[in-house]
Amino acid sequence: MLAHQEQRDGAYRHIRVQANDDGFGAEITGVDLAQPLAPTTLDEVKRAWARHSVLWFPDQPLTIEQLEAFTLQIGPYGVDPFVRPMPGHPNVLEVRREPEEKSRAFGRSWHSDWSFLDRPPAATLLLSKITPPVGGDTLFADGQRAYESLSATLRRLLDGLQAIHSARRSYGPEGSFAKDKERHSMPIITSKDAEASRTHPLVRTHPATGRKTLYINPVYAIGIDGMADEEAKPLLDFLFARMLEERFIYRHRWRQDMLTMWDNRCTMHYADGGYDGHRRVMHRTTVAGERPV
């Protein structure tokens, strides 16, 4: 396996990395995230994250304060609009769903977190506090390998395009959350501010690795700059379908006290359901990113 090769090569001396066979996603053990990481250990975590895009750390029963401290070791906090944070913790969201809730689970659409921002978050960290006995998986799609699978001709076309991103479909006055009358445990905020839009390169370059990736998602990418909707939609739909091919998907199964960190710059994700009748509680932070290029 790739992970075994990495260990033999001496790529990591302070952490243990068990990667998926295709290199997309890796389990990290041998660290205690409740304590500040030594610079050499932190560097290895960041290198593993750049290489594998999705990392999970089992058996990390962190307090909110410890989650905040580890987040700040990765980078400064990102911005989290349209969801009210936890009292006393302005940079932590509680992703909660109670047993009696009938509404659609938060995040149950393919997306990259807050891609409509001028500087979308680089990382999202999610810590499982109450894990239901069934369901609740998170699926991740690899935008880098999906891009690399395209023909050279199509890649040249895409490299010059700008995608239009907006939160209007979800958080606008006419968006899905405004229309959903079911009870939500999460304090969602709908606003006219969500109607704003901005453009980002449809293909962006990862700042740490230099790899190119598709930077679009079905929730927030609403068009392509300079194209009519009837032109843009078939192209976007084709690219979404390519990203969601099984060979580019990793299904992540949660355990109690597991911290998972993913790279929003080159992945999109989907919160699966399947746990109706059970409580699920996660604590979530983001790390600030740069303007996509």
Catalytic residues: 111, 113, 269, 284
Question: How many CB atoms lie under 10 A from the CB of residue 139?
Answer: 15
DSSP conformational letter for 188: B
Q: Measured between alpha carbons, how far is 14 from 176 in angstroms, rounded to an integer? A: 45
> Hey, what are 195's tokens?
């109607």
State the residue for tokens 């960290």. 125
State the residue for tokens 């960190």. 261
Q: Give, rounded to a whole angstrom, the gap between the first and last alpha carbons of the chain.
A: 33
> Hey, what are 161's tokens?
């395009």
Q: Measured between alpha carbons, how far is 164 from 20 in angstroms, rounded to an integer? A: 33
How many alpha carbons lie under 13 Å from residue 104 in its C-beta half-sphere? 13
Q: Measured between alpha carbons, how far is 82 from 171 in angstroms, rounded to an integer? A: 7
Q: Measured between alpha carbons, how far is 291 from 3 in angstroms, rounded to an integer? A: 32
